[in-house]
Structure 1
Amino acid sequence: MNIQHDIGGEPRERMEWIGVIEQGLAACGQSLSCSPVASRLLAQCQGAESIDQASCSLFWEEAQTLSGDALLGMRCARGAALPVPLQMLELTGAASADLGTAVGHLVRFFSLLSTQARLEQRRSASRIMLLLHPRGKPHVQQQEALLGLVARLLQRFVSGTEHARAGLSIVSPEPERVDYRRLEWCADCRHGNTYGLLFPADWMQLPLPGATPALLGGMAGALQGFIASMPASDVVDRVRRDIVLRLGSGHLTEQDIAEPLKVSPRHLRRLLRQHNTTYEQLLDQARREEALRLLADTRKSLTAISYEVGFLDPSSFTRAFRRWTGISPSDYRRRLPQSASASVHRHVEPPLRRLA
């Protein structure tokens, strides 16, 4: 498969989203079959696993017309039954020791929700911002549905805690388009360059009532398997996926990743720069995420983990882990039952940019 073709085309969305739209329309007494345009497109998509972005946007456009609801995407996300991978993501977050760890899983596995955006976490001294970065030109209702899903998961994670009834703040490029405060979970709305959610930074250290450390590593591994089996939507996803799949195979170089993609290492570097990242950053991120997952399994020795995440010796792994988190792997493992990795998030998050 030629990587240049992959990154040049539109993102393809999973067909499960059609079911999400239909569930939202059913609450209004409507169906996509009520639209001649959507009906024809549905017939063409019969049996397909995915649809192109333009078709997905057309379904959203027809659904918005049928429902007359400017908040359709948000409402769809709140009421829809989640596909199996998304249910697993919800359970993985709920099993985390604290909200910071749950949010980390949500960001890491966000491509299970949609290929039409990626999720970024930013942190200031007082706030956490989760930002959607669109890929291609997704429909506004698709972006708002994704935002609604993230809000739904966050509220699921904190259910049973003192913050369960607290609202989230919405960031929107068009805050005047609709009154988001009609949503029961929206505390206020602010203007930004893209869609996002805001909540207090101290929530990240909030212990979750459903924490199940013994199950967390296995569920995160299963989600990683789902990610690895999905078609890559752009060069960054493809490189990140290939790094994860080859992480424990020994010394990993740019050449090892570039060859299967049929590009030179120099051209791969240029492509990654266009997405504001580098091979070294993606490798470092993959090692960190895999190390955090493996450390939850107390049966694995630190030496074995160091080799599994691609280090040549345990001392190099320990130095890298201190750089990621500020503590040693053994200290991190000792803290797991109490507070998963609140310190991890404190050390790795970039500063929050001021909203426009």
Structure 2
Amino acid sequence: MTGLNKGPGAAAESAQIPAAQQATTIGGYSLAIAKALEASGVDSARIFKAVGVPLDLSNDPLTRLPASTMTRLFRTCVEVTNNPYFGLSVAKYVQISNLHALGYALAASSTLMDFCRRLERYFRLLSQTTKVTLSETDDQVLLRFEHLVELSAETEDAFFAFLLMTMRHLYRQDFNPVRVEFHRAMPHEGAGPYEAVLRAPVLFAKTDGLLVFAKAELLQTLNGSCPELAQVNDNIVIGYLARLDKSDVITGVTQKIIEFLPDGDCSRDKVASALCMSPTTLQLKLSQRGTNFQQLLDDTRKELACSYLQQAARSVTEVTFLLGFSDTSNFTRAFKRWTGQSPTDFRQHP
């Protein structure tokens, strides 16, 4: 989607995070660790068995590993390879497909800003251990990673390196961040390998992980931009998040709104019934999260509208009915209220 500051996943970012012993990470991530072990001449099956990680993990996003298990696995890998930079090595073996639908949505993003906003919105599918927050100054974009539970240093190493490699692949190979800050302490062996991979000043032992980018570069259109593909995969991610955390009422409601909007019948009562609760209970649960059904409906429509309008094959009339509006004049008024632009102007200058 376009990554406006508010959207169907934005409110969900305040969702309660499981306790440390319950926080999980997508299991497909371990497939990259296995490849890195094999490349180091270590039998990954032996290590996985010793740590208690199943050998036949699938790439299904609902196949999860506890954060504590991932930490134990990484620490064992560092010991057996005698490589304090093992996490950086893992980054080379992480594939977009290991992130499932979110990976494909990221790859189809319109800009790197869109990429970062999508990561902020849906990072919970990858891991419940960290909260990602995007902020902006006049000329910089800050992507912050707040650790909600204690993680191994290699987890941070691997993901930051993978993220930068992916962004370069999508944009251009000489793309570099302004600076990178790690929560982890600097290895005794020094920062050299980090600077070589990240190609930016690197700081350690900070409160949060942080990637700082030049805003102008993040606003450039990507050659692989495909709003239709990004939209389809965003919807898949929302569905998985609803299944992953059934107690997250915001994600559940958002999923149902997306499902019901094209039918033109997306009332609070219908959504509540689909979630097996009364309208009163639904409203109470939403109010406890600081929102309400109408606000979620409005936010979801706005986000979908911006995404649909980037898809050249969709007419404004089609977008109108996909969003459940009765006519284009109602949609146009709502869109101007959301963005200050008409749908036609937005399409020309998104």
Is 2:218 the counterpart of 1:218? no
DSSP 3-state at the match of 2:213 = strand
**Deviations along 1:249-284, whole A, 9 cap, x unmatched?**
4364555545516471344125424xxx66555444
Is 2:91 the counterpart of 1:91? no
Deviation at 1:219, TM superposition (A): 1.0
Amino acid at match of 2:172: S
Q: Which residue of 2 aligns with 1:21?
A: 33
Q: Is this contact kept in 2: 1:144–1:195, CA < 8 A?
A: no
Q: Is this contact kept in 2: 1:171–1:192, CA < 8 A?
A: yes
**Deviations along 1:175-206, whole A, 9 cap, x unmatched?**
54675553222412346532221111121332
Amino acid at match of 1:199: F
Q: Is this contact kept in 1: 2:235–2:255, CA < 8 A?
A: no
Distance 1:105 1:143, change over 3 A: same
- State the alpha-carbon separation in 2 of the partners of residues 24 and 312 from structure 1: 54
Q: Which residue of 1 aligns with 2:162?
A: 149
Q: What is the number of equivalent residue pairs in this alignment?
A: 318
Q: Is this contact kept in 1: 2:320–2:327, CA < 8 A?
A: yes
DSSP 3-state at the match of 1:69 = coil
Distance 1:80 1:168, change over 3 A: farther
Q: Is this contact kept in 1: 2:23–2:129, CA < 8 A?
A: yes
Is 2:314 the counterpart of 1:300? yes
Q: Which residue of 1 aligns with 2:4?
A: none
- State the alpha-carbon separation in 1 of the partners of residues 59 and 112 from structure 2: 38
Q: 2:289 aligns with which of 247, 250, 272?
A: 272
Q: Which residue of 2 aligns with 1:67?
A: 81
Q: Which residue of 2 aligns with 1:332?
A: 346
Is 2:209 the counterpart of 1:188? no
Distance 1:102 1:137, change over 3 A: same
Distance 1:174 1:287, change over 3 A: same
Q: Which residue of 2 aligns with 1:348?
A: none
Distance 1:299 1:186, change over 3 A: closer
Deviation at 1:128, TM superposition (A): 0.2
Amino acid at match of 2:179: S
* Structure 2 length-normalised TM: 0.73
Is 2:140 the counterpart of 1:123? no
- State the alpha-carbon separation in 2 of the partners of residues 100 and 134 from structure 1: 22
**Deviations along 1:71-123, whole A, 9 cap, x unmatched?**
33333123333426365235313xx3x43344444444545544544533211
**Alignment RMSD (CA, Å):** 3.6
- State the alpha-carbon separation in 1 of the partners of residues 258 and 292 from structure 2: 15
Is 2:172 the counterpart of 1:159? yes
**Deviations along 1:21-80, whole A, 9 cap, x unmatched?**
112223332244344863544269699933333333332232233234343333312333
Is there any run of 5+ residues in structure 1 with no aligned partner, and where? 1-5, 336-340, 342-356
* Structure 1 length-normalised TM: 0.72
Deviation at 1:169, TM superposition (A): 1.7
DSSP 3-state at the match of 1:51 = strand
Q: Is this contact kept in 2: 1:110–1:118, CA < 8 A?
A: yes
Amino acid at match of 1:51: L
Deviation at 1:324, TM superposition (A): 3.9
Q: Is this contact kept in 2: 1:147–1:196, CA < 8 A?
A: no
Distance 1:192 1:134, change over 3 A: same
